[in-house]
Structure formats: structure tokens, C-alpha cells
Chains A and B, each alone.
Chain A
Amino acid sequence: MCGIVGLFLKDSTLEPDLGAMLTAMLVTMTDRGPDSAGIAIYSEDSAKPFKITVQSLDPATDFPALSDRIAKLTGAPAQLLEKGSHAVIALAKSAADTVLTMIRSDFPELRIMSQGNRIEIFKETGLPEKVAAEFSVAAMHGTHGIGHTRMATESAVTTLGAHPFSTGSDQCLVHNGSLSNHNSLRRKLVRDGMHFETENDSEVAAAYLTRRMQGGDNLGGALQAGLDDLDGFYTFVVGTETGFGVLRDPIACKPAVMAETDRFVAFGSEYRALVDLPGIKDARVWEPQPAKVYFWER
């Protein structure tokens, strides 16, 4: 149960403002989700060919130690940008698997939030305004981003239980609603080799889509298959390296508003989230249809 915001830029001159625009949108959705908040932001940066975002309960101890280990492992000084409880590690793509394996085995206290060519995920418990400030989201630039404010229903209010959920490289998912068959689906996905961090129904949806894409579906195909396999109520916004998608369940009770201009495509759980976007007055504003896959790609 939650608030969702999303922004996909068509006009590259807006890219320096992405974080600021997303922050404002996120904060308006505080009432829908006061428990935790998070964002996934996608940016292109030649200095950072591959990015791993990690979170730690004790950054003062963990991040320097991690920095040392990466330097030793790769033979080059690690680029590790600390932001609050999170840090973004930039490294060559070729070193990514080695480093990820090392973090999982040697730093079990670190949580891997995301990994990919463009994605960075920051999420924490607390009010959206506090979370956005902690990570200086307003200062971030990028091509597209997704934000989420959470009102927890059944699973715990924790950092890992916050959205977005990332279960594959450069992939993320946020969810408003409540799935009704996620426990059975989780058991099936575990048998298929998927790994879960939480009891959250939304993580199951994220892993389901990742699994479908591993099997050869594109995002559109994975979302289409989800209409048959995911039961319950949902509005999903899904991010990939190059774009984002939107899907609502066939009953479509949970709210969703979209706006499109020459410069951007925006998503909000409520219109309030969109009111400050540039040129919103002349934007095409509509509600996504039930059971229809929407996708924007660069």
C-alpha cells in the first residue's frame, strides 16, 4: 500500500534536474507511505562503467574495509562514493562478478541494493523527506527514475522491505497494492533458483519478472505473462537500463495517473505528485488501462 512516482526524460536538458523533480514528487506521496521510501535512479556516466549500490548498518566501519578489499581484489583503488547508509561502488564491468561474489561471501552485513550499468537504488525507513535528504536525491542527475513511499501491509518495516526491489541487473520494481498468491509463487521461484531477501509480496513480483527475462522474455513479454501468474491487486512501475514500464491488474483499483509531454513521461499514484512538473498544464494526462502493458524506451 503505497505511493509511486516515476519520471522518464525525453529531453536531455532536464537530466540535471531529475533528482530534484523526483524528490518533489516523492515527498507529495508521504501520506500514502509514511513508513519508508526509496528511489531507483538511472544515469549514464562514462567514469562509472558499472555500479554496485550497497547499504550498511555501520558505514563507518564497513565502507573503509570494503574499499580496501576491492582495491586488493582488483589491484586498483576502489571508487566508493558514500551517501548516508549507502555507498555506490564504480568499477569496470569485467570486475563486477568478482566483486559481487566477494561482497556476498566476505561482507554478509552489507546489503546489495542494486547492480548494473546505470541503476543506483537508495532506500531507508522513515518519512520520504528524510530519506531523500539523507541521500541528497535532489542533487542527482539521470535519464529516468522511480520512487516509492511505503505503507507496510504485512511484511516488516525495514530497509530491505522498502521499495524499489531489484532482483536483476539494472532492473527494479515498485508496487502499490497487495498480491494474493505470492507465497506459492515465491516457493516456485526459489525452486527455480531465485534468491529472496524479504517476505514482501512485491519482491516476488520483481523476481518473477527477472526470472521471465532470464528465460528470454523482454520486459513487455514478462509483464504480459505476469497478468496470468500474479493474483491480487497491483499497480507496478518497472525500471530497466533503457526505460520503464507500467502495469495494472485487470481489476485496477489502485490509483495511477500518467502524464506525457515532448520532454518527459511521468507516473504518479495521485495527480498531486505531478503538479510541479514543467509544462504539466499542457501535458496529456491519462490513467493507464487495466491489464495493459505500457513501456517507454530510449
Chain B
Amino acid sequence: MTILDLSEQALRSVNAELQSLNGTQSNAEYEIINPRGSHALAVGLNAPIAVKIAGSTGYYCAGMNKHATVQVAGSVGPGVAENMMSGMVVVDGDASQYAGATGHGGLLVVRGNASSRCGISMKGIDIVVQGDIGHMSAFMAQKGNLVVLGDAGDALGDSLYEARLFVRGSVASLGTDCIEKEMRQEHIDLLNDLLARAGVDADPAEFRRYGSARQLYNFHIDNAQAY
């Protein structure tokens, strides 16, 4: 375990050290201390290393992550794991706006709440939020799965494409073209797997599934007011 201290080392040198293993199979372990809300921490990683961040971070923590496992023992600012490709990011506290935005793959777990636009434009990432999520979450979400153990804010899944949304609590309102769908066995199985990988103990049967009504997929004049 290598300790990187942000009160002594510049952000650039911390990230450069983590990125120096990019392209390797290294599973080295790092702990970053004194993050103090720093932005762009542990971004652009591309190796199966494990990074623990002892404290809260700012914007874009673990942005564009590939292969690495990043755990934040605190809360994160906007855009955690944005555009993640693979690997795993775990936030022990809360996540601000845009958690997992445009992510292509990997698993993002938020143990606390995520605020607005969680999973915006997601393109294949899996996101598990143990608390609540804010408004406009999964806006234009294309692919992947968003699992919420708490409640969802307004306009969930607005202009949704093929992403699947599972919410255990209440949904304040559904966005345009987002509807509740039947929970079939395949969805129970999928949820079981996601919850297990996220280390969350919950019964898949308690969730409701939401998805795209696919009414906006090809322009139709009767839907014009929805644009």
C-alpha cells in the first residue's frame, strides 16, 4: 500500500503516479490522504489497481476510469466516474450532480444519496445508489442499469433510450417517454447480480422497473409537444 498525501504532493504528481501503471496488469494498492475536496482526482486510470481516497473529493473523481477500483471514504462532487469504461467506483458518502454521467461500463456504487442527473446520458454503466437520487436522473440514458434503493426525484428517465431503471422507493414523477414496465424473472436475476456485486443486501422483488415507452424514437407529429 502506497500512501499519496495531497497536502504534500500536487494533484498532477498524484495522478501521474497512478497513471504510470496504465496499460499494465498491476494490482498495486494506493491510499490518497488529505483530498480536501480536490477536483479531477484519480482520473484517467487504466490498470486494475485499487485506490482508496480517505476523505471527500470535488468534481470528476475517477473520471473516465478503466479497470481500476476507486473507493472514496467520503462524499464526492459533481460528475463522479463520468464516462467510466470499466472497473468499479464506490462512494461511501453522497454524490453530487451527474454521478456516472455518460458512463460506458463498470459499476458505480453510491452508499449515500446521489443528487440530480444521476446517470445522465449513461451508455452502458451500472449504477447502484443506496439512498435517494435527485431530479432529471437518467436523462437521455442510453444503455446500462440504474438501481436506486431509496426514492427518485422528478422527471426520472426523461427522453430515455434503452437503459433500465430499478427503484425500490417512490418516484416523484416520470419524465417524458418513461414508463413503468413489468418486472420479469430476467430482471430479478439481473438485479440479484447487481446488488451482490455492489455489496448491497436487498430483495429484488421490492423494486419496480422503468424503461422507455419508445414513443420518441422516430418523430411523430402527435408527439411534437414532448420535444
Given contacts A270-B37, A272-B38, contact A257 B96 (CB under 8 A): yes
* B98 nearest CB neighbor, chain A only: A253
Output the least CB separation between A24 and chain B (Å).
12
- The answer to whether A272 and B135 have CB atoms under 8 Å apart is no
- On chain B, the residues within 8 Å of A274 by CB distance are 37
CB-CB under 8 A from A271, the residues of chain B are 37, 56-58, 75, 77, 96
Q: Which of A272, A285, A289 contacts B58 (CB 8 A)?
A: A272
B116 at the interface (CB under 8 A from A): yes
Do residues B116 and A272 form an inter-chain contact, with CB atoms below 8 A?
Answer: no
B135, A255: Cβ atoms under 8 Å?
Answer: no
B119 contacts partner chain A, Cβ-Cβ < 8 Å? no
Q: Which residue of A lies closest to B135 (CB)?
A: A290
Among A252, A257, A286, point to the contact of B135 (Cβ < 8 A).
A252
- Are the C-beta atoms of A287 and B134 separated by less than 8 Å? yes
Q: Is B94 an interface residue (CB 8 A)?
A: yes
> A265-287: which have CB < 8 Å to B?
270-275, 285-287
Please name all residues of chain A whose beta carbon is closer than 8 Å to the beta carbon of B130 when the two chains form the complex: none
Chain B residue, CB-CB nearest to A274: B37
Nearest B-chain residue to A288, judged by Cβ: B115
Partner of B56, one of A28, A275, A287: A275
Q: How many residues of A contact B (CB 8 A)?
A: 16
Residues of chain A lying within 8 A (CB to CB) of residue B115:
287
Tell me which of B56, B78, B93, B153 contacts A255 (CB under 8 A).
Answer: B78
Residues of chain A with a CB closer than 8 A to B96's CB = 255, 257, 271, 287
Is B36 within 8 A of A272, CB to CB? yes
Residue from the list A28, A252, A275, A286 in contact with B116, Cβ < 8 A: A252
Contacts A252-B135, A255-B77, A290-B116 given; indicate if A272 touches B97 (C-beta within 8 A): no
B221 CB, min distance to chain A CBs, angstroms: 27
- Given the known A-B contacts A287-B96, A290-B116, are A270 and B56 also in contact in the complex, defined by CB atoms under 8 Å? no
Q: Taking A290-B116, A290-B135 as contacts, is the C-beta distance between A270 and B77 under 8 angstroms? A: yes
Identify the interface centre among B56, B58, B75, B134: most chain A CB within 10 Å of its CB: B56
Task: Return chain B residues, CB-CB under 8 Å to A290.
Answer: 116, 135
How far apart are the CA atoms of A289 and B59 in the complex, in Å? 19
Interface flags for B28-48 (1: CB within 8 Å of A; 0: not) read 000000001110000000000
Given A271-B37, A271-B56, A285-B75; A255-B97 close (CB under 8 Å): yes
**Bound: A275/B59 CA distance, A:** 15
Among A270, A271, A289, the one with the most B-chain Cβ atoms within 10 Å of its Cβ is: A271
**Distance A252 CA – B97 CA, assembled complex (angstroms):** 9
A285 touches B94 (CB 8 A): yes
Note all chain B residues with C-beta closer than 8 A to A285: 75, 93-94
Chain B nearest CB: distance from A277 CB in Å? Answer: 12
- Distance, CA A28 to CA B56, complexed state (A): 15
- Chain A residues lying within 8 Å of B75, measured Cβ to Cβ, are 271, 285
Query: From residue 89 to 131 of chain B, which have CB atoms closer than 8 A to chain A?
Result: 93-94, 96-97, 113, 115-116
A12 nearest CB across to chain B (Å)? 28
Q: Which residue of A lies closest to B136 (CB)?
A: A251
What residue in chain A is nearest B35 (Cβ atoms)?
A275
Known contacts A252-B135, A270-B58; A275 and B37 CB within 8 A of each other: yes
Bound-state Cα–Cα, A274 to B75, Å:
12
Q: How far is the CB of B82 from chain A (nearest CB, A)?
A: 14
> Given the complex, which residues of B lie within 8 Å of A270, measured CB to CB?
37, 58-59, 77
Report the bound CA distance from A272 to B11 in whole Å: 14
Partner among A252, A272, A287, A289 whose Cβ is within 8 Å of the Cβ of B37 = A272
> Quick one: CB contact mask for A11-24 with B, threshold 8 Å, 1 for yes?
00000000000000
**Chain B nearest CB, measured from A282 CB (Å):** 12
Residue among B37, B38, B78 with most chain A CB within 10 A: B37
Provide the bound-state CA to CA distance between A287 and B153, in Å: 13
A289 CA / B136 CA spacing, docked (Å): 12
CA separation between A272 and B97, bound complex, in Å? 15
- Residues of A contacting B37 in the complex (Cβ-Cβ under 8 angstroms): 28, 270-275
18 A-B pairs in the complex with CB atoms less than 8 angstroms apart: A255-B96, A270-B37, A270-B58, A270-B59, A271-B37, A271-B58, A271-B77, A272-B36, A272-B38, A272-B58, A273-B37, A274-B37, A285-B75, A285-B94, A286-B94, A286-B113, A290-B116, A290-B135
For the complex with contacts A274-B37, A290-B135, 8 further pairs of A-B residues with Cβ separation under 8 Å are A255-B78, A271-B58, A272-B58, A275-B37, A275-B56, A286-B94, A287-B96, A287-B134
